[in-house]
Amino acid sequence: MSLAAFATLLERLAFTPQRLGKERLLMQAFTDSPDPQRGLMLAAITGDLKLRQVTPSLLRGLTETRVDAQLFAASYDFVGDLAETIALIWPEGTRSDPPLSEVVEELATTPKTRLPALITARLDSLGPSERYAYLKLATGALRVGVSARLARTAFATWATLPVSEVEEIWHALSPPYLDLFAWAAGTAPRPEAAARAPFRPVMLSTPTDLDQLSALDPTAYAAEWKWDGIRIQAVSDGGTRRLYSRTGEDISAAFPDIVDLMDFDGTLDGELLVRRDAEIASFGDLQQRLNRKTVTPAMLRSHPAGLRLYDVLIWEGSDLRDQPYDTRRAVLTKAVAPLGPRIDLSPELDFQTWDDLAALRLNPPATVIEGVMIKRRDSPYLAGRMKGPWFKWKRDPHLIDAVLLYAQRGHGKRSGYYSDFTFGVWNGDELVPVGKAYFGFTDAELKDLDRFVRNNTVERFGSVRSVARTKVVEVAFEGLNRSTRHKSGVAMRFPRINRIRDDKPAAEADHLSTLQAMLDRET
């Protein structure tokens, strides 16, 4: 696969809305491309192609050596996407079409001091589409509406292999996946390196509500609290201990206090939390520990981590994933007993009817509980998300009315629209920012919001526009944290625009005291 072919694939994926259409495009690319090009293409789309990421500031600096700075700034403001802007505005030069493997190799191995010259030379020799693909590779910012799961599903379908088998071995493989494609072609056995992958694909749940549950027999299901942490997989195998996120990222370095406690032989599924004795801390406290390469002794003391376990996949050499949930739960109960107190079992809830469970959900014992998890008692542990075995019944979101303050251009398919919105609430006579949202609205509502921004801009700050304080939106969010970074002192968890309130004047939007009261209740 050449860089031009890769660029064409990215464009077609970005503008193909249907999932099946994207799968067909990927399968055709697997057929048309030789090794190692197709494996590198797959790795780039799944996010497993680990290159030395090029910073936006480096690219801006290079571009301003070739293009007038004011013209570049105005173009970036209009286009909204840095890679697309540079791809379009960079002066035309001689055309070349290098293999994808050549481009990947040089980006991965070129010393940092030589990167500016390398990138400049490549941009000089590429057309606009190829420049765009090259820059997306260099920055690691591919956004073409294809999840890693969808890409792996497309590969499994193309190879006529069960997607569960591909998922099972994926995290033991590395690009360009020559052994994987050889297995698919029938010229080699299943990759041996994947026989004992350290990370196993996790089982996911689907949302539900009381109306959907009413058609099910409650005696066939178990339930437990949905804790507000991050889903993890704890693996202790042959003396090697690792903590993985649900996507397979190794996060062991950030949680050495938990790794030290993993004195077992198996693979356990649970929730990573910050806990101080019996108290589970807020997600904001957990965020202080995430994404760290090292953790200071002070942080270990002030933000001690804990595991609350849900399930067991492998125990003492036995793969239990095909066993019923109740059987696995019995094994897990015995397994957890000697590990406490910071590694414990998520308790099951006592209920007879769905109305009983609804009452529990409305009155959880801790504010950090997000809702309830519901699991069919006879369900095996199945990789991925399928409707039926596991459900999540989350608590109703918080709602406030806020005023739009700023808007920024989106990315990818949204680069032509203002789609990232900052909103605020009243603090006395002043509007203070409390959050930012870029989803929740329909395509039609996005066009209306974009039109409002263009017609009501009062100031410009690069790609950001300040707008007249007249548009009210209803914002839904999952919770609040205290924040020293925000003037308001609060930060929202997972905010989204729930609806546009053209019926409400800005003066009737909510006040900061409303959010502070919510925060006080949660803490």
Decide: 166 and 48 in contact? Cβ < 8 Å: no
Hey, which residues are catalytic here? 226
- Full DSSP string of 33-83: --TTHHHHHHHHHHT-----PPPHHHHHHHHTTTS-HHHHHHHHHHH--HH
Decide: 253 and 241 in contact? Cβ < 8 Å: no
Both structure tokens of 403:
């005023």
What 3 state SS string does 178-211 have? HHHHHHHHCCCCCCHHHCCCCCCCCEECEECCHH
- State the Cα–Cα distance between residues 132 and 114, nearest whole angstrom: 21
Nearest to 217 by CA among 389, 350, 357, 354: 354
Q: What kind and span of H or E run contains 37?
A: helix 37-46
Chain-centroid distance of CA 41 in Å reads: 20
- State the Cα–Cα distance between residues 182 and 56, nearest whole angstrom: 38
Residue 67, burial from CB neighbour count under 10 angstroms (0-12, 13-18, 19+): middle
Q: How far is CA 39 from CA 92, 143, 146, 173, in A?
A: 30, 18, 16, 11
Report, in angstroms and rounded to the nearest whole number, the Rg of the chain calculated over CA atoms.
25
Both structure tokens of 89:
């505005």
Decide: 170 and 152 in contact? Cβ < 8 Å: yes
- State the Cα–Cα distance between residues 184 and 179, nearest whole angstrom: 9
Decide: 94 and 125 in contact? Cβ < 8 Å: yes
Assign 422 to helix, strand or coil: strand
